[in-house]
Amino acid sequence: MSITERHERILNKLKNYGKVNVQDLSAEFEVSDVTIRKDLRILEDKGLLFRTHGGATLSNPYAVDRSIDEKENIKSEEKESIGRAAVDLIGENDSIIIGSGTTMVALARHLNPSKDLNVITSALNVSLELIKHQHVNIIQLGGQIRASSASVVGSYAEGFLQEIVCGILFLGVDGVDLDYGITTTNLLEARLNQRFIEAAQVTVVLADSSKFGKRGFGRICDLDEVQYLITDPDIPDKSVRELEERGIKVIIAE
């Protein structure tokens, strides 16, 4: 079978099924996995498909920057469960960082410590939620405000983080991809999140299942820099297994 014929058959399978798997194609065409991955890379470069972890799809995996109102309506109940589960990881008299995103606001709603807790955050809506709680000491980062996330970015916030060390970082993201890692839609936000990771001893990603297989424009980190990931029951079992094989503790929020 020629390369052209193989490419045609791959595209026909995508048209019929919406996605293809590297191992299945390798077995069917009697070629190596490496050959199939090269085929998929060539076809992606031509704009005919999108590569995914272990295969390819016709669906665009790239996350778009949505407004806060839109984000709040996506898996809202699941975000509340994720936020509630995240609180269990926080110890007494701790210092934590909370990133931006609607799931971070859900975390803030469920955070009601009985003893003092220091919280550093870039998100204005998180601070407004936390200010209702008596024992939370809020440090609001300053900088350029992003309207789509109600959070700050920029060198001022990054510079402040060079002076601190925190216990836990709770990170909201736009994409979790087993090949591309953790991403967001904005480069400046990705850079600030990288500084968050450097300042924290433990990184916890809060991501509902709609974020899996998605890629944002700004890459935050590889998966090996994440210790915990909290998500909802709709995450594929295969993704859970692969994340745990990489040493990440996956928590399913019911």
The domain that holds 144 is classified in CATH as 3.40.50.1360
Residue-by-residue pLDDT tens, the chain, 254 positions: 889 999 999 999 998 888 898 999 999 999 999 999 999 999 989 989 888 878 888 877 777 676 676 777 788 999 999 999 999 999 877 899 999 999 999 999 999 898 999 999 999 999 999 999 889 999 999 999 998 889 999 999 999 999 899 999 999 999 999 888 999 999 999 999 999 999 999 999 999 999 998 888 899 999 999 999 999 999 989 899 999 999 999 999 98
β-strands 228-231, 218-221 pairing: unpaired
Task: Report which of 184, 215, 187, 207 is spatially closest to residue 51, judged by C-alpha positions.
Answer: 215
- Note whether 216 and 64 are within 8 A (CB): no
**Residue 182 domain boundaries:** 68-252
- For residue 8, what pLDDT is reported? 93
In three-state secondary structure terms, 195 is: helix
Please identify, among 57, 85, 103, the residue that sits at the C-terminal boundary of a domain. 57
144 lies in the same domain as 27: no
20 lies in the same domain as 94: no
Task: Tell me, yes or no, whether 62 lies in a domain.
Answer: no
In three-state secondary structure terms, 110 is: helix
Task: Tell me, yes or no, whether 63 lies in a domain.
Answer: no
- Residues in the chain, overall count: 254
Q: What is the DSSP letter of 65?
A: -
50 lies in the same domain as 91: no
112 lies in the same domain as 179: yes
80 lies in the same domain as 45: no
**Looking at this protein, which amino acid is placed at residue 33?**
D
Task: Tell me, yes or no, whether 35 lies in a domain.
Answer: yes
Task: Report which of 111, 156, 147, 114 is spatially closest to residue 131, judged by C-alpha positions.
Answer: 111
103 lies in the same domain as 13: no
In three-state secondary structure terms, 115 is: coil
Number of domains in the chain: 2
* Consecutive H or E run containing 145: strand 144-146
144 lies in the same domain as 233: yes
Q: What is the CATH number of the domain that holds 27?
A: 1.10.10.10
What separation in angstroms does the CA of 122 have from each of 60, 146, 200? Answer: 29, 10, 14
Task: Tell me, yes or no, whether 226 lies in a domain.
Answer: yes
35 lies in the same domain as 111: no
9 lies in the same domain as 83: no
141 lies in the same domain as 180: yes
26 lies in the same domain as 116: no
Task: Tell me, yes or no, whether 159 lies in a domain.
Answer: yes
53 lies in the same domain as 167: no
